[in-house]
């Protein structure tokens, strides 16, 4: 009889797998564990059944832009798949954003919400992207003084009723670039007491959102100085009419194709200033930090999902007389990727707890400092790891990983964006260095990590030695760089990667010490022993030589 390969199975990643249950018990205090676990257990069943089907439908039926109606009137309709619309409904009902703000799990509500997002993301067709921006906008509005936008939008952004729930965009990138926002060309003109925005935005995700946060140039009426300012924009009115905005085209993207990303022309769209003249970058940083956390969580989510599929496949697919999961080299490969996946789960869990504490005003100064520097580190490290881990896992399916109707290639295409948007790896390395330059931030992190490493149990003495040596290497490098900014920048990636590795090892060791499970001990040890020591460029002449080699 002809051979038919048995398919892999989408596992319920919470109820059928104790790992995440142990993570909840480790990070959340007992009083909140049941609320969090019950919710995750219920939702994890959906993300491998009906919600998965919605995302697959949304992926099959890409957005269609209809610029004109039959009579030539510019309408810029974006036709979306029912799958995408269903994902909107699920996002509202499940409170993917609201959970963090309802604060039913106190300062652990962020942790609750972000674990839920981690389960959702690989079945969301990147609905996680509009949700990231919605969450960022919600936090900006929660903190801002401008009562109008707050009263208008917050009840919608936090609603669990799909008909009331709104999503938000975040329009920053212009033709001049997504990294260097100082080159923003959009201007805000004050006309009859109302700001109107004129310019073009080059990447605007989820143009179907209801509101957006965006940047534009303003002139301070008092000082006459020009600056970059944050604005709140309602994208369409109650009748669905665009707010003096033209869609120029939808982007043809490598991945994230279920989500409509547009180029826009702002032709005097009405906007409300948020946070005062000239403070745009600082104000939008609130959105950035939340969307960067989402990015780290989504990177973890896709790795976690694909690893589970790969392990399942390894028990079914046979080669050379046995299941591929019985071949030593396959075991070794999946073991190493598993350590990265688990490390990512811990990194996002820890930072979610810190973020929750900061948001309810319960964080110490040290915790706020650590969060500030570790968000860019977590975003860049998980984003970069996801690209390589997902590629490795696609390979673990052999040819099947390259065939569209297995549902696997889409993971690879979609994952590449995680190291690009919300700041590339290099931009985020520089952001971590920016944080480092603020008083007390590195000291807080260094003290915290040093103390935690020195508390390792005796069965982790080898790991303690490795981490102490890496910490010393970082100290020496920072001291050696001194005022030499170019050497500091050149080493930004190595430095942030080693910080991520140290932090993750600390978390894996602490977890293993708590659970006392062999599974967790070997993971922590393997992860730590796989760390490569950074190879910093410590000499300006060498850096000059590198530049000449490349560009002369
Ligand atoms: C959607 C599908 C499309 C798929 C393809 C994707 C294609 C790409 C799409 C995109 O383009 S996504 C856009 C991604 N862009 C970013 O994420 C922005 C990346 N750039 C940065 O993050 C730069 O670091 C930054 C623009 C912030 C640098 O700007 P500046 O003006 O040089 O920042 P500056 O002067 O250092 O900081 C201004 C203030 O903001 C400072 O506050 P103070 O005045 O009080 O000192 C900073 O401390 C603060 N700040 C900056 N970054 C911060 C922050 N505060 C907290 N957290 C941060 N991360």
Reported as a pLDDT band with limits 50, 70 and 90, residue 519 is very high
Q: Is residue 455 part of a domain?
A: yes
> Measured between alpha carbons, how far is residue 36 from residues 21, 83, 302, 515 in Å?
10, 27, 21, 19
Share of the chain above pLDDT 70, in %: 100
pLDDT bucket at 99, cuts 50 / 70 / 90: very high
**Confidence (pLDDT) at 552:** 87
- Determine the pLDDT at residue 482: 82
> Ligand 1: which of 255, 263, 281 to mutate, judged by most atoms within 8 Å of the beta carbon?
281
Atom of ligand 1 nearest to the CA of 181: 26
C-alpha 77 to ligand 1 mean position (Å) = 31
Give the three-class secondary structure for 402.
helix
Closest Cα partner for 426 from 343, 347, 491, 487?
A: 491
pLDDT digits (tens, 9 = 90+) for 269-281: 999 999 999 999 9
Query: Which residues have CB under 8 Å from 188's CB, separation 6+?
Result: 195, 196, 197, 198, 216, 217, 218, 229, 231, 271, 273
Please identify, by atom number, the ligand 1 atom nearest to the C-alpha of residue 172. 13
**Separation of 4 CA from ligand 1 center, angstroms?**
51
Which pLDDT does position 406 carry in this prediction? 96
Distance separating alpha carbons of residues 389 and 362, to the nearest angstrom = 35
Find the residues whose C-beta lies inside 6 A of ligand 1: 172-173, 178-179, 181-182, 203, 205, 253, 256, 261, 281-282, 285, 288-289, 417, 420-423, 427, 431, 434
Report pTM.
0.97
Which residue has 């900014």 as its token pair?
Answer: 485
Cα–ligand 1 centroid distance for 271 (angstroms): 21
User: What would the pLDDT profile of 435-450 be if each residue is shown by its tens digit?
Assistant: 999 999 999 999 999 9
What CATH number does residue 174 fall under?
Answer: 2.40.110.20
Percentage of the chain lying above the pLDDT 90 cut: 96
pLDDT tens digits along 62-96: 999 999 999 999 999 999 999 999 999 999 999 99
**Ligand 1, atom 49: closest residue by C-alpha:** 282
Banded pLDDT at 102 (limits 50, 70, 90): very high
- Residue of minimum CA distance from atom 11 in ligand 1: 178
Among protein residues, the one with the nearest Cα to ligand 1's atom 19 is 179
Torsion-angle region of 134 (φ positive above 0: left; ψ -120 to 50: alpha; else: beta): alpha
Ligand 1 closest atom vs CA 434? 36
Atom from ligand 1 closest to the CA of residue 251: 3
What is the distance between the alpha carbons of residues 169 and 493, in angstroms, rounded to a whole number? 29
Q: Is 75 a domain residue?
A: no
Given a cut of 90, whether residue 247 has pLDDT beyond it is yes
Residue 267 pLDDT level (bands cut at 50, 70, 90): very high
CB contact at 8 A, 471 and 453: yes
| 3-state helix vs strand vs coil in the chain, percent to 5 | 60, 15, 25
Cβ atoms 263, 200 nearer than 8 A: yes
Q: Is residue 347 part of a domain?
A: no
Identify the pLDDT of residue 17: 87
Kindly give the number of the ligand 1 atom that is closest to the alpha carbon of 256: 2
Res 24: pLDDT: 98
What pLDDT does residue 206 have? 79
Give residue-wise pLDDT tens across range 147-204.
999 999 999 999 999 999 999 999 999 999 889 999 999 999 999 999 999 999 999 9
Query: Of the candidates 394, 474, 410, which has an alpha carbon nearest to the alpha carbon of residue 442?
Result: 474
Distance 285 CA to ligand 1 centre (A): 6
CA of 359 to the centre of ligand 1 (A): 20
pLDDT of residue 368: 98
Q: How many domains does the chain have?
A: 2
Burial 103-140 (b: 16+ CB within 10 A, else e): bebbbbbbbbbbbbbbbbbbbbbbbbbbbbbbbbbbbb
User: In the prediction, which pLDDT does 530 show?
Assistant: 97
Rounded Cα–Cα distance for residues 509 and 199 (Å): 51
**Does some domain include residue 536?**
yes
Tell me whether residue 394 is in a domain.
no
pLDDT tens digits, residue range 459-494?
Answer: 999 999 999 999 999 999 999 998 799 999 999 999
141: closest CA among 274, 273, 267?
274
Structure confidence by residue, pLDDT tens digits, 20-33: 999 999 999 999 99
* Atom 33 (ligand 1) nearest CA: 281
Give me 310's structure tokens.
């790969």
Residue 65 lies in a domain: no
- The CA-atom distances, in angstroms, between 381 and each of 138, 241, 385 are 26, 41, 6
Nearest Cα to Cα of residue 23 among 118, 159, 147: 118
Per-residue confidence (pLDDT) for residue 343, from 0 to 100: 98
Phi, psi angles (nearest 5°) of residue 82: -60, -30
Write the residue with the smallest CA distance to atom 53 of ligand 1.
Answer: 285
Q: Which of 225, 254, 281 is the last residue of a domain?
A: 281
Ligand 1 atom nearest to 180, measured from its CA: 26
In this structure, what token pair is assigned to residue 272? 């409300």
The yes-or-no verdict on residue 131 having pLDDT over 90 is yes
Query: How high is the pLDDT of residue 397?
Result: 98
Q: How far apart are CA 103 and CA 129, in angstroms?
A: 22
Candidates 286, 455, 275, 406; CA nearest to 10 is 406
Q: Quick one: how many helices (H) and strands (E) in the chain?
A: 19, 11
Q: From 259, 434, 438, give the residue whose CB has the most ligand 1 atoms within 8 Å, as the site to mutate.
A: 434
pLDDT in tens, 348-385: 999 999 999 999 999 999 999 999 999 999 999 999 99
Beta bridge partners of 191: 194
Q: How many Å apart are CA 133 and CA 110, to the nearest integer? A: 15
**Residue that terminates a domain, selected from 246, 281, 316:** 281
**Is residue 243 a part of any domain in this protein?**
yes
Q: 3-class DSSP state for residue 11?
A: coil
How many A from CA of 515 to the centre of ligand 1?
39
Q: How far is the CA of 136 from the centre of ligand 1 (A)?
A: 14
As a residue count, the chain comes to 552
Alpha helices in 317-438 (DSSP H): 328-359, 365-395, 409-415, 425-436
Q: Does the residue 457 lie in any domain? A: yes
Distance CA 38, CA 378 (A): 27
Range of the domain at 191: 168-281
Closest CA to 243 of 273, 269, 263: 269
Looking at 258, 281, 304, the residue that finishes a domain is: 281
Closest CA to 146 of 74, 232, 72: 232
1 has a pLDDT exceeding 80: no
């Amino acid at each position: 009889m002809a051979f038919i390969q048995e398919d892999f199975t989408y596992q319920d990643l919470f109820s059928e797998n104790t790992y995440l249950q142990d993570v909840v018990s480790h990070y959340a205090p007992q009083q909140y564990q049941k609320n969090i676990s019950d919710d995750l257990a219920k939702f994890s069943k959906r993300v491998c059944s009906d919600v998965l089907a919605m995302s697959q439908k949304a992926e099959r039926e890409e957005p269609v832009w209809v610029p004109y109606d039959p009579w030539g009137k510019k309408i810029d309709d974006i036709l979306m798949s029912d799958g995408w619309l269903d994902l909107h409904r699920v996002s509202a009902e499940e409170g993917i954003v609201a959970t963090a703000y309802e604060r039913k799990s106190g300062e652990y509500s962020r942790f609750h919400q972000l674990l839920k997002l981690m389960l959702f993301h690989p079945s969301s067709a990147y609905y996680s992207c509009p949700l990231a921006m919605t969450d960022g906008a919600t936090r900006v509005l929660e903190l801002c003084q401008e009562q109008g936008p707050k009263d208008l939008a917050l009840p919608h952004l936090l609603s669990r009723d799909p008909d009331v729930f709104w999503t938000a965009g975040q329009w920053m990138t212009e033709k001049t670039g997504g990294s260097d926002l100082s080159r923003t060309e959009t201007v805000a003109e004050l006309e009859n007491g109302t700001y109107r925005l004129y310019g073009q935005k080059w990447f605007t995700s989820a143009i179907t959102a209801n509101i957006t946060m965006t940047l534009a140039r303003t002139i301070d009426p008092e000082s006459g100085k020009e600056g970059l300012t944050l604005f709140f924009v309602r994208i369409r009115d109650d009748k669905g009419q665009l707010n003096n905005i033209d869609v120029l085209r939808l982007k043809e993207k490598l991945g994230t194709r279920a989500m409509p990303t547009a180029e826009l022309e702002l032709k005097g769209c009405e906007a409300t200033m948020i946070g005062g003249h000239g403070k745009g970058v600082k104000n939008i940083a609130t959105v950035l930090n939340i969307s960067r956390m989402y990015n780290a969580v989504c990177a973890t989510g896709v790795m976690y999902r694909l690893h589970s599929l790969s392990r399942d496949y390894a028990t079914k697919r046979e080669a050379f007389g046995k299941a591929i999961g019985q071949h030593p080299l396959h075991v070794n490969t999946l073991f190493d990727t598993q350590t990265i996946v688990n490390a990512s789960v811990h990194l996002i869990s820890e930072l979610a707890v810190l973020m929750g504490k900061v948001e309810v005003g319960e964080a110490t100064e040290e915790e706020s400092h650590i969060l500030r520097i570790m968000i860019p580190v977590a975003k860049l490290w998980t984003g970069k790891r996801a690209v390589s881990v997902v590629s490795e896992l696609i390979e673990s399916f052999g040819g099947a990983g390259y065939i569209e109707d297995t549902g696997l290639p889409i993971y690879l295409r979609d994952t590449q964006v995680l190291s690009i948007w919300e700041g590339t790896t290099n931009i985020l390395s520089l952001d971590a260095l920016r944080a480092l330059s603020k008083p007390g931030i590195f000291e807080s992190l260094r003290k915290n990590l040093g103390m935690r490493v020195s508390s390792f149990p005796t069965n982790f003495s080898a790991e303690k030695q490795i981490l102490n040596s890496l910490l010393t290497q970082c100290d020496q490098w920072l001291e050696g760089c001194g005022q030499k900014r170019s050497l500091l920048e050149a080493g930004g990636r190595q430095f942030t990667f080693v910080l991520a590795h140290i932090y993750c090892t600390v978390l894996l060791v602490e977890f293993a010490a708590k659970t006392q499970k062999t599974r967790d001990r070997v993971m922590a040890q393997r992860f730590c022993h796989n760390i490569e020591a950074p190879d910093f460029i410590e000499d300006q002449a060498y850096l000059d030589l590198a530049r000449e080699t490349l560009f002369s």
